[in-house]
Structure 1
Amino acid sequence: MKPGKGIIFRQLFESISSTYTYLLGDEESKEAVIIDPVLETVVRDVKLIEELGLTLKVAVNTHCHADHITGTGLLKKKVYGSKSAISLLSGATADIMLSEGDRINFGKHVLTVRETPGHTDGCVTLVLGDQSMAFTGDTLLIRGCGRTDFQQGCSKRLYQAVHQKIFTLPGHCLIYPAHDYKGQTVSTVEEERKFNPRLTKTLDEFVHIMANLNLPKPAQIDIAVPANLLCGLHDV
């Protein structure tokens, strides 16, 4: 499994919240995008960007996270000229407010926005131009999906979003989620269509499963959500 042609790609991990951060760059222009950066790992990420000779254009969040504080605000302070981005429906503040079909360009490459609500109202999936890679945030995880019991969660909307906006991608499209708790790093659309234990069920069965997860409240939610509404910093 390889990223698209001419793409610099790095998958990075933050262990406390089990968050994946993704760095994508254009090999020719060196323009880059970072997806779902975490506050505590910004120094690491900036060092990597500098080592690879990249110019960070956009730091984008797939949604307003509840389990960690985003690094987008601090990245803007540390990387001159970079901009923050998040869905218009998230209720958060950013330089770029994203909607269905919007494009995030870096060099000759592009990420296209697909609105995939259900975990939150403002969840988006970012699809590489050739549909070889999709960054699904918390909407679709490897053999799982995001919770729907807080932050405007709605099981029916999540189910419909996955089936209409993600499962319609080519089967070979690589799925890169915002989190994994079992050491898994990547899946494919075809795998998840076949093997996802929740999203292979009927809508009614899925809604019942999600209503009975009985998960504890995310440890950082009361701190993370207010901070993330402001890109992680109060003075962005």
Structure 2
Amino acid sequence: MKPELIMLMTSSLDGRQHPSRWTLTPDGERKDWGAMFEKVHETLGGDAWIVGRVTMQEMSKAAAHPPATLPKVARPLHVAARQAKGYGVVLDPSGKAHFSGGTVWGDHMIALLGREVGDAHLAELAADGVSYIVAEGPQIDLAAMLETLNRAFGIKRLLLEGGGTVNGSFLAAGLVDEVHVLIGPAFDGDSSQHGIVFHPGGLAGKCELSFTSATPLEHGMVHLRYAATPPRAG
């Protein structure tokens, strides 16, 4: 059984995800929008959160440090901690995210990796106290990864928090159950930047959204909520 997967993102009016580039507004400052995101994050009550490799590298800031002597490594699953208070998950097919310990923001880290990731990277993760799941096929099976997160770590509700590429991957696979977007009263205007969702070829025919609610928040924000389902046959 897979965890319930809830996408949660903050967005400008033109769909961009980095408030540092947004226009200013008298309704609130960037720190206020960040505080609203954290408030909704806590309200949703996830057991874990998941981001992509680029976002994780911005959070962790660690460099590669493989062990000098390569021990035997476990595949496809290494569990460094069970029943942690909270989990952070990174989708990292190429094994490029590094850590300075087993936790980020106090949550135990789990890396979802591609089959071709080398033993040196797995050994580095294990030495840092990071759990990992390695794909058994040539492509990462996102549904199978989610089922392993539930089975091996007891994760029942997972908050999908970007960036755009990882959001698009899970939406395209029909694995997202709800979409929550906090719209800030600002524009970005930079068309070279990915939006809160990106998928090569687009998402037409990949998922369907049904409106649930729109709730005004503090500092000019609006909380939009949708149910997400795979497209209906025919």
The TM tier, using the shorter chain, reads 0.3 to 0.5
Q: What's the TM-score, normalizing by structure 2?
A: 0.34
Q: Which has the higher contact order (CA 8 A, sep 6+)?
A: 2
Compare CA radii of gyration and give the structure with the larger one: 2
Q: What's the TM-score, normalizing by structure 1?
A: 0.33
